[in-house]
Structure 1
Amino acid sequence: MKRSWILAIALIALPALSWAQVLTQTVRGTIVDADSKFPLIGATVTIGDQKVVTDDQGSFKLTNIPVGRQTLAVGLFGYGAQTRALELNSAKEAVLTIGLQEMATQLGEVEVTAAVTGQAKNEMATVSARQFSVEETNLYAGSRGEPARMATNFAGVQGSDDQRNDLVIRGNTPAGVLYRMEGINIPNPNHFSIPGTGGGPVTILNNKFLANSDFFTGAWPAEYGNAIAGVFDLQMRDGNNEKFEGSAQLGLLGTELMLEGPIGPAKDGRRAPSFLGVYRYSTLSMFQALNINLGTNAIPKYQDGAFRLTFPQKNGGKLALWTMFGVSDIEILISNQTDTSGFESYGSTDRDQYFGSDMVVGGFNYTRPINKRTFMKAGIAASAARIQAVNTKLQREVGSLGDGTFGWLVTANDTMLNYTFNENKIHGFLAYNHKIGLRGTLQYGVNVDLYMLNYQDSVRQYDGVTGTLPPWRVQWATKTAWPVVQPYISYKTRLTDKMTLTAGATSLYSGVNKISFMPLEPRVGLSYQASENDRLFAGSGLHAQMQPPYLYYYAVTTVGHNPQEHNPDRIGLMKSFQVAGGWERTYKGLPIKTKVETYYQYLFDVPVETKPSSFSMLNAGTGFGRIWPDTLQNTGVGRNYGLELTAERFFAGGFYFLTTASLFDAKYQGSDGIWRNTIFNGRYAFNVLAAKEFKLGKNNRFNVGIKYTTVGGRWFGAEIDETATLRTGEIVFVEETNNTVQYRPYERFDLKLGYKWNNPNTAWEFGLDLSNLLGNKNILTLTYVPGLDDPNTAVNESVREEYQLGLFPVFYFRCDF
């Protein structure tokens, strides 16, 4: 008993001891040439009053660095200086790889200042690019630790709605965003993903296994193809190769475990190999227990994870085996609901839905500095994505529930939809970087994807007018395979010490049909350092993208059990010409950056219907349903233009803020020849974020973060087609009025609270993220519920506004060890 009391007192005293004791951590890593990735010898690395020089492998190690926020500075004669902001805790070493850009002139002494971050890692990027860090995903209120939700704080980027993390970039369809992991074009990295969409309710990506990555919103380098809206170039970090570390987290979005460490000793001039593993299992049942509205009465179930083995080679080379996966399923049982005012934001209110989606991707990557001027990287991977759904049609009527109340009574429940989509792919890439003199860099390579598709889908389309389910019809019955090939070349040259030019080209070939080939997509960018603090930049590019594969094989009609596919040879690549330019300014002695950027995009060869209609693929790419268009042709056009403003104070002195504003216009023309607003044309977006850190004692910190967002509303039709709406059970507007009326503006205020405390060998954190703190009723959609209309009123009660998430609290409790 005495020992138990001693142990309890010791546990209680640990946090108090951490107030008095200064805890420290190790910072180590490698300094490399930014272009050739060759290790740099003799670079000076400084934190505070500690300074070390890199060894013959480019490695450095700084010990006994106080935990908390620190600034690391790197300098080497002949190279540009770099600074990096760090947040250290007592449990996890900071392991870094920093690239330095070779200069044509000599470098003076390194001046340690507050780190101004955000520049893209990709050296070919001059415009519309930003690097995001893992720390930022935890810093931003309302981001839930997700990279995509975090990106909605950047200028020109909005989310589709609270329920999903689709990205609307400069008014473009979310389906136009490319996700790349470790150089591989990966499937939609979200749980409960729908074919042809770019997001989902919950991400599979976990910031515990991600390294700093790049995000592009326009005119991106030639390395990237098959995208028209934006690019997420994600990197997976290596595990710690010197000591074992871990993290355990309990939260409303999942229970997580992360482990990493060495798997052998260093030998033969190679660093020690390492492993990294992350696993998460959903705990959304907590929301139901706490009576928190998820937008559904069902409990989504999911699990995901990632694993990486890293084997360092000599001279900075590396072989890595990596994988990540996600499994999710949900049963939305409307038949169990009797409340006539209920709404299902993840499905339809006229059917029971059984839905599941799985994805896995993994492969090998090899990187090698061939010499001090040349670097190569290569990778091969395989991916599999499976989506399966069964829907049963409900026929209901309002009646007595037997207890004196009235509600829905189910009169029939028949299967109406059964589909399984499998997309298996083999991926590969090969890339070279070669430095030419002191001023030039040549980059070239090729990305290859082999698509192996199996789509099976049968349906009985309920007719709301006659109240009948017709016989089964086969919509998809496809087994096919074809390649996508994208070679590219880029060249960067410093014309002067202040002016840098990048130029490149790529080509896109898709074997889906004979017309999906873009022989040349030129890219060009120019950056001019007008002064120590001012940079002017401009860029342009032509971009092409194929459509979601399932659309090529859809059949409106079926003969027997043979679907009559009508689009395989009709749909070519959609194209976008983009130009952007702006001015970026830093302020000497201050951790502040401002940026003004303007852009224009002309989209052409957009798939629209052959019959006159308002349909355009520019309005697709989000939501929880597929699209079933009629015969398509590449005759649609669109245009987007806008002005973006950013003011950012990087974290220094315990304070941070980010303000972004976008003014834009996004319009399109369908096959009816009428210019309309895209559904994403909110016309403006405004974000204000701020975070304040309070130091408590020597090792503990309390954080407060706030965010305010307002975005112009989406667009819908002015007049409802009653007959078509009754027949389909969904709102159908009179064709001529589509996208002529706008929802009221979206507004949301978020608050994030966090407390971090460090003990010897462990670090603890509690976070509470309160989204939509004021409970604003932001419109999600309009729904049609037949039978609720009162003919004695002027308002059609069968048409209702349905709202996005109200107050949505997300907490987590984490221990790093």
Structure 2
Amino acid sequence: MDFPLRFMRLPIPVLSILLITQTAYAQLTQTIRGRVVDKESKYPLVGVTVQLTDVTPTLGTISDTAGRYRLTNVPVGRHTVRLSLVGYKDALLNNIIVDAGRETILDIDLEEAIQQLSAVTVKAQRTGDARNEMALVSARQFSVEETDRYAGSRGEPARMASNFAGVQGADDSRNDIVIRGNSPIGVLWRVEGVSIPNPNHFAIPGTTGGPVSIINNKYLANSDFFTGAFPAEFGNSMAGVFDLRLRNGNNERHQRSFQFGFLGTEGLVEGPISRKAGSSYLASYRYANLWLFSKAGIDIGTQAVPSYQDAAFRFNFPLKNGGNIALWGFGGTSTIDILISKQEVSDRNIFGQNDRDQYYTSRMGVAGLSYNQPLSRNTFLRATLAVSGNSQGAGDDYLFIRRDSQGNLQVQNNRFVIDSLRPTLSYRFAETKTSLAMSVNHKFSPRSTLKVGLNTDLYLFSYNDSVRTITETATSVRLSNWTTRWDSRTSAVMLQPYIQWRVNLLRNMTLSTGLTSLYFSLNNNSFSPIEPRLGLSWDLPNRQKISLATGMHSQIQPAYAYFYRFTPAGTSLPRSDYNRDMGLTKSWHYVAAYDRLLGRNMRLKLEAYYQKLFNVPVEQGNSSFSILNTGAGFSRIFPGKLVNEGTGRNYGVELTLEKFFSDSYYFLVTGSLFDAKYRGADGVLRNTDFNGRYAFNALVAKEFTFRRGDRRGSSLNLGAKFTAIGGRWYGPVDETASRLNQDIVYRNATRNTLQFAPYRRLDLKVDYKINRNKLTHTIAVDLVNILGIQNLLSLSYAPQPDGTFIKQEYQLGFLPVFFYRIDF
């Protein structure tokens, strides 16, 4: 460091201040490191050239015998990394974020070239191609940075995915996702190769979403999301797949992260267990801060304050030749008490009914042991053994509200006058599952790869539910004796073997074909012996590509629905698990796609699809009920006898225009036009509940970097998102049946003949990052529905003092989500 001679004559205190200031504004740097392996065999690659191409002079290094590489003294900011090796296609990774507070670890798969072509380049970050090499269409890789970057996503994979073409969120209060008009129950969640229960707080049986995700994006690695015609390894799914990967902790340096915000206070620690062996640990914990919304006067749809907490861990131990064993797990618990007896009549409550106190608790957890080992330069073994469980428990206390002589509910000081509370509901559902997923990849040549595997799940079910029927007259309310609706304890096995083969038919044409099968031992009707999958991709001149895919898919029903003990009125049939013999729902997927790169940093993608659904459970008799309308909300289903005689069909077109992050900005525009209909047992072709017919999303973000010389210590990101979706379908209310069931019941013959108004929402996000020496501060606020647009959510059963009971419930209004995070 050179100083003019005149500085030497300054007093020592002044000189010290100048030295400290100069040091504070010195160039901030960090390390990029990781490991490079063959894409199919996962065998470590030696001699890979790794270069940072956007700095002068260029930084570079070469991978060692274990495939490891390290780039030191990398300036903080966004960078481009190029990896190259003779006999392999280059990999170009754009928009790699380097912060002062933590090392950037990039583990890269390189694809072997069919023939050596100097012009061939794989731009993994630029195209968003799936990590799974068998997927050729309707698949996308998403990164942890994307879940943080998108306005309105709240750092959750499901809310982030709702921005993709063909995908829409269910409502503001939950993160269920509707893919191509399908029910959210058709979404499969997988972690480290095994299927897991609904990974959300306040999960309701038979759903795949919830208000808040248990999964924290801070411990996720880059993962895949599929929207149709997925490869053979993915079974028991009709609509889409989240295939999540967990990252390892830093095996050289101890790092910590602390975050405080409206959604929770959380901490994460990671570091080496043994630097010599390369083993590492990672652990995180989060506790809810939703009481802050209440203190700030922010409407979250209820006066009750939800409470939740979750945690995760991962211990990774490297083995020889690039293998590893990892012990991992995550889980959470949540509870909410909606006490109408202590609320005012005018209080909003979209999560419960206003004639009873409700108590609800849910828990979910999974722990697993994963083993990954290259057996040779061409063969790779992966196995995961996991145990998961989830449970839900609830209780209701009915409010006996005093009535006047005309039968109207009495109110005093804006509160109902309550004579007594009587219990009317008690249930606890629990499922435990032991899962084993094994697969072997073998690369015959650069042209041909085979994957063979088996997914096995052993289920243990425990369902208990008792209820008292409420009989309401003009002047009184009576309770019946307790009735048992569920009382089952049993087990079942699911087996899903598969084989998938990928082959390059020509230099520019790739075929991916496979077979799978699904067997569920609960009954004799749940066996799908052969399900073919087929995909074809053809690269054209001018960076264009055409892809085609088809496949048969099947899925079991929401598990609790098998065991509902329904007794038709006026009969003497024995009480039994009335729907235990339901078979699998099945569908055929057909997809055609066109991709084109428009310049270096922009992509256009078009997809058209048709989905034929059959063997759909519907209610026996002249009924409009179909399982295709379930899975989004806080209610269970209570059907009569279900038979696999329903059908459905979905078709549509999707457009994606995406500019990848360059020149300090990016945008993503997606649009879908679709039609989703079904036939119940009455034979009428109707709109499904989710047939909004169109969905549009537009996201944009700009980054401003603040420099002092070569120093890039701070950045400001401004982002926005606009969403427009067609409204949900419903029908006229059957008032007599609704009063009898104390819930909204629609008229059977006119179901889904009415539509809610279209959904609109504008979100803004501001993210300010400050880098200091070995330290990164992040301050962010997500302004959800900044215009406060009132979007209709549903009709609810809500008795009012004037005798009416049908109430329109609106979705959440303006919701600011703030957090502060420090990484060090």
TM-score bucket (shorter structure): over 0.9
- State which of 508, 513, 516 in structure 2 corresponds to 1:503: 513
- State which of 749, 764, 785 in structure 1 corresponds to 2:762: 749
Instruction: Go from structure 1 to structure 2 and tell me whether the alpha carbon gap of 1:14 and 1:620 turns closer, same or farther (over 3 Å shift).
Output: farther
- State which of 561, 565, 577 in structure 2 corresponds to 1:565: 577
How far has the Cα of 1:291 moved from its partner?
0.6
CA contact (8 A) 2:495 2:520 kept: yes
Structure 1 Cα separation of the partners of residues 642 and 153 of structure 2: 37
Number of aligned pairs?
A: 794
- 2:380 counterpart letter in structure 1: F
Map residues 631-780 of structure 1 onto 2, 5 A cutoff: 631-697=641-707, 698-717=712-731, 719-780=732-793
Structure 1 Cα separation of the partners of residues 650 and 644 of structure 2: 18
Structure 1 Cα separation of the partners of residues 354 and 643 of structure 2: 33
Please list the CA deviations of residues 373-414 of structure 1 after superposition, one character each: whole Å capped at 9, or x if unmatched: 000101111111111111111233578999985442223311
- State which of 314, 317, 320 in structure 2 corresponds to 1:311: 317
User: Are 2:608 and 1:601 aligned?
Assistant: no
Comparing 778-787 with 111-120, which one deviates more in the overlay? 111-120
- Aligned to 2:659, the other structure's residue is in SS state strand
- Aligned to 2:672, the other structure's residue is in SS state strand
- Aligned to 1:193, the other structure's residue is in SS state coil
Structure 2 Cα separation of the partners of residues 613 and 114 of structure 1: 49
- 2:34 counterpart letter in structure 1: G
Comparing 389-398 with 351-360, which one deviates more in the overlay? 389-398
Comparing 378-387 with 636-645, which one deviates more in the overlay? 378-387
- Aligned to 1:551, the other structure's residue is in SS state helix
Please list the CA deviations of residues 12-35 of structure 1 after superposition, one character each: whole Å capped at 9, or x if unmatched: 999987983221110011111100
CA contact (8 A) 1:474 1:561 kept: no
- Aligned to 1:727, the other structure's residue is in SS state helix
- 1:691 counterpart letter in structure 2: A
Instruction: Go from structure 1 to structure 2 and tell me whether the alpha carbon gap of 1:480 and 1:657 turns closer, same or farther (over 3 Å shift).
Output: same
- State which of 282, 302, 306 in structure 2 corresponds to 1:300: 306
- Aligned to 1:208, the other structure's residue is in SS state helix
Match of 2:812 in 1: 805
User: Are 2:571 and 1:580 aligned?
Assistant: no
Match of 1:224 in 2: 234
User: Are 2:462 and 1:454 aligned?
Assistant: yes
- TM-score between the two structures when normalised by the length of structure 1: 0.94
Match of 2:387 in 1: 382
CA contact (8 A) 2:386 2:436 kept: yes
Structure 1 Cα separation of the partners of residues 781 and 799 of structure 2: 41
CA contact (8 A) 2:733 2:746 kept: yes
Structure 1 Cα separation of the partners of residues 492 and 19 of structure 2: 61
Instruction: Go from structure 1 to structure 2 and tell me whether the alpha carbon gap of 1:397 and 1:71 turns closer, same or farther (over 3 Å shift).
Output: farther
CA contact (8 A) 1:473 1:561 kept: no
Instruction: Go from structure 1 to structure 2 and tell me whether the alpha carbon gap of 1:424 and 1:789 turns closer, same or farther (over 3 Å shift).
Output: same
Instruction: Go from structure 1 to structure 2 and tell me whether the alpha carbon gap of 1:158 and 1:17 turns closer, same or farther (over 3 Å shift).
Output: farther
- Aligned to 1:495, the other structure's residue is in SS state strand
CA contact (8 A) 1:18 1:699 kept: no
Structure 2 Cα separation of the partners of residues 422 and 283 of structure 1: 27
**Between the two proteins, what is the percent identity of the paired residues?**
49
Match of 2:268 in 1: 258
Match of 2:7 in 1: none
Match of 1:816 in 2: 823
- 2:810 counterpart letter in structure 1: Y
- 2:580 counterpart letter in structure 1: P
How far has the Cα of 1:783 moved from its partner?
2.5
User: Are 2:252 and 1:242 aligned?
Assistant: yes
- 2:716 counterpart letter in structure 1: F
Please list the CA deviations of residues 637-684 of structure 1 after superposition, one character each: whole Å capped at 9, or x if unmatched: 000000000001111111010000000000000000000000000000
Instruction: Go from structure 1 to structure 2 and tell me whether the alpha carbon gap of 1:128 and 1:398 turns closer, same or farther (over 3 Å shift).
Output: farther
- State which of 89, 101, 126 in structure 1 corresponds to 2:111: 101
CA contact (8 A) 1:762 1:816 kept: yes
How far has the Cα of 1:798 moved from its partner?
4.3
How far has the Cα of 1:734 moved from its partner?
1.6
CA contact (8 A) 2:91 2:122 kept: no
How far has the Cα of 1:297 moved from its partner?
0.8
Match of 1:793 in 2: none
Instruction: Go from structure 1 to structure 2 and tell me whether the alpha carbon gap of 1:693 and 1:489 turns closer, same or farther (over 3 Å shift).
Output: same
- Aligned to 2:638, the other structure's residue is in SS state coil
Please list the CA deviations of residues 726-754 of structure 1 after superposition, one character each: whole Å capped at 9, or x if unmatched: 22232222211110111000000000001
Structure 2 Cα separation of the partners of residues 95 and 314 of structure 1: 20
Gaps of at least 5 residues in structure 2 are 1-13
Match of 1:76 in 2: 85
How far has the Cα of 1:429 moved from its partner?
1.1
Structure 2 Cα separation of the partners of residues 721 and 342 of structure 1: 26
Structure 2 Cα separation of the partners of residues 171 and 260 of structure 1: 41
Match of 2:329 in 1: 323
CA contact (8 A) 1:73 1:112 kept: no
Structure 2 Cα separation of the partners of residues 15 and 812 of structure 1: 30
Map residues 148-547 of structure 1 onto 2, 5 A cutoff: 148-267=158-277, 272-339=278-345, 341-396=346-401, 405-465=413-473, 467-547=477-557
- 2:448 counterpart letter in structure 1: G
CA contact (8 A) 2:91 2:124 kept: no
- 1:453 counterpart letter in structure 2: F
Match of 1:6 in 2: none
Comparing 47-56 with 419-428, which one deviates more in the overlay? 47-56
Structure 2 Cα separation of the partners of residues 22 and 462 of structure 1: 72
CA contact (8 A) 1:77 1:108 kept: no
How far has the Cα of 1:788 moved from its partner?
5.0
CA contact (8 A) 2:127 2:603 kept: no
Match of 1:794 in 2: none
- Aligned to 1:725, the other structure's residue is in SS state helix
Q: Please report the RMSD computed on the Cα atoms of aligned residues, expressed in angstroms.
A: 2.3
Match of 2:76 in 1: 67
How far has the Cα of 1:232 moved from its partner?
0.2
Gaps of at least 5 residues in structure 1 are 1-8, 791-796
Structure 2 Cα separation of the partners of residues 248 and 407 of structure 1: 42
CA contact (8 A) 1:315 1:369 kept: yes
- 1:502 counterpart letter in structure 2: S
CA contact (8 A) 1:350 1:729 kept: no
Structure 1 Cα separation of the partners of residues 756 and 467 of structure 2: 33
Map residues 10-25 of structure 1 onto 2, 5 A cutoff: 20-25=25-30
- 2:77 counterpart letter in structure 1: G
Instruction: Go from structure 1 to structure 2 and tell me whether the alpha carbon gap of 1:804 and 1:444 turns closer, same or farther (over 3 Å shift).
Output: same
CA contact (8 A) 2:89 2:121 kept: no
- Aligned to 2:419, the other structure's residue is in SS state strand
- Aligned to 1:468, the other structure's residue is in SS state strand
Structure 1 Cα separation of the partners of residues 313 and 518 of structure 2: 31
Structure 1 Cα separation of the partners of residues 744 and 163 of structure 2: 31
Match of 1:4 in 2: none
- 2:28 counterpart letter in structure 1: L
- Aligned to 1:564, the other structure's residue is in SS state coil
Please list the CA deviations of residues 339-391 of structure 1 after superposition, one character each: whole Å capped at 9, or x if unmatched: 2x333212222211111011110110000011110001011111111111111
CA contact (8 A) 1:15 1:757 kept: no
Structure 2 Cα separation of the partners of residues 15 and 605 of structure 1: 73
Structure 2 Cα separation of the partners of residues 453 and 114 of structure 1: 42
CA contact (8 A) 1:243 1:262 kept: yes
- Aligned to 1:138, the other structure's residue is in SS state helix
CA contact (8 A) 1:426 1:449 kept: yes
CA contact (8 A) 2:264 2:287 kept: yes
- TM-score between the two structures when normalised by the length of structure 2: 0.93
